[in-house]
Amino acid sequence: MPTSYFSFKNSFYTSLFAAAVCFAAYTCIFSFRKAFNVASYDGYEVAGLNYKVVLVITQVAGYMLSKFYGIKFISEMKRDGRGKLILLLVGISWFAWLLFALIPPPYNFWVLMLNGFPLGMLWGVVFSYVEGRKATDFIGAALAVSFIFGSGIAKSVAQAVMTNWGVTEYWMPFVTALIFFFPLLLFVYLLEKIPPPDASDVAQRTERLPMAAADRKAFLKVFLPGIILLVLVYIFVTVLREVRDSFMADMWRASGEEFLPGVFAKTETLISITILAMIAGISVRDCSPTYNEFKPRIFRVGYCKDSWKEPPILSLSAIPRNFFICTSSSGTSFSISFSFSVKTTPS
């Protein structure tokens, strides 16, 4: 049976709807990953290491491994059944929290690998609903900011669950995920109602199709040096973010200041608004075959299946200014953004 989509007067309202739904859906998904960080998990060690540190490392390891597997899995993913796939991956991570509660500590640390692995692929699945559009940058920015907002909301709800309901820190991740699961059902339904890219989107961004192994190899052959540099930068940024995000509650406790459950949602909401304002201030200029020279703006390298015969050769003609990186990979799309003065010449 063909999928029925919501209808909007123009692409602007479609983009707003898509941005709001993706933001809300990924906020709910983040509760399955980040809620546990609000607890201290004192009193245990694993191989001489602090128990909570081991939990964070184990989850991040699962998350990292899923990114490598996701290169194949997400790029080959079909459009049909994505909503069910989201619920399946979330369900696996939720089951891991049930095991975490039932297995005595510290012998339950390994289940964080089971939790992190499926969650690591969900960004690509959610982003596949909005790729290949004129407004993908705007929607992607909203989706990226949900990292910050979702983490704060998850921690505040988790702290409230322990403080107000008397739930132990080992059952807290499972109960918090339960609270967010029902809103997630609604937002997954709404994701399925996002209209596909229209003719003007396809004309500007090309149609996004599943990427076969040969296409991935061809892509890497052209862009591997840039991808390596981007990944290295992103690793360092991610390490800083993970340390701050995973041990924020511990920093509050170590400071001696009393904090209420709502403090995480409050601080992260303010940061989310600030980041959105900063992103909105960045001028974006689309790359098209008719442009052969760009001023220092945001520059995108876009991949589409039919464009491999003549990939562009990039020459950086200026030192980076206002260095900014925004990457996203899903389906057959891969976008890289720089603030460089760039020239393109055909191969």
Tell me the pLDDT tens digit for each residue of 101-134.
999 999 999 999 999 999 999 999 999 999 989 8
Among 69-78, 249-258, 277-286, top mean pLDDT goes to: 69-78
Q: Per mean pLDDT, which of 6-15, 71-80, 160-169 is the most reliable?
A: 160-169
Of the candidate ranges 92-101, 151-160, 201-210, the one whose mean pLDDT is the lowest: 201-210
The answer to which of 224-233, 248-257, 277-286 has the lowest mean pLDDT is 277-286
Position 299 confidence tier, pLDDT thresholds 50, 70, 90? very low
Look up the pTM and report it: 0.78
Q: What is the pLDDT of residue 323?
A: 30
Q: Which amino acid is at 8?
A: F
In the chain, at which residue ranges do the beta strands (DSSP E only) sit? 45-46, 49-50, 297-301, 313-316, 326-330, 333-340, 342-345
Per residue, the 3-state secondary structure of 227-260, as one string, reads HHHHHHHHHHHHHHHHHHHHCHHHHHHHHCCCCC
The residue-averaged pLDDT of 167-182 equals 97
- pLDDT category at 302 given cuts 50, 70, 90 is very low
pLDDT confidence of 46, banded at 50, 70, 90? very high
Angle subtended by helix axes 213-246 and 51-73, to nearest 10:
160
CATH 1.20.1250.20 domain residues, the chain? 11-280
Kindly tell me if the per-residue pLDDT of 314 is higher than 80: no
pLDDT class for 237, splitting at 50, 70, 90?
confident
pLDDT-derived band of residue 240, with 50, 70 and 90 as boundaries? confident
Question: What pLDDT is attached to residue 24?
Answer: 96
Q: How many other β-carbons are positioned within 10 Å of the β-carbon of residue 242?
A: 16
Taken in order 177, 179, 180, 186, the sign of the CA dihedral is positive
How much is the pLDDT for 102? 98
> Binning pLDDT at 50, 70 and 90, where does residue 282 land?
low
11-280: which CATH architecture? Up-down Bundle (1.20)
Predicted pLDDT at 241: 85
**Which are the contacts of 231, defined by CB distance < 8 A and separation ≥ 6?**
none
pLDDT digit string, tens, across residues 325-345: 333 333 333 333 333 333 333
CB-CB contact of 136 with 144 (8 Å)? no
Quick one: average pLDDT of 219-243?
A: 89
Residue 297's pLDDT is what? 35
Identity of the residue numbered 256: G
Alpha-carbon gap, residue 210 to 197, rounded angstroms: 15
Residue 291: the pLDDT is 35
Q: Mapping DSSP to helix (H, G, I), strand (E, B) and coil, where does residue 63 land?
A: helix
Count of beta carbons in the 10 Å neighbourhood of residue 131: 22
> What pairs with residue 328 in β-bridges?
335
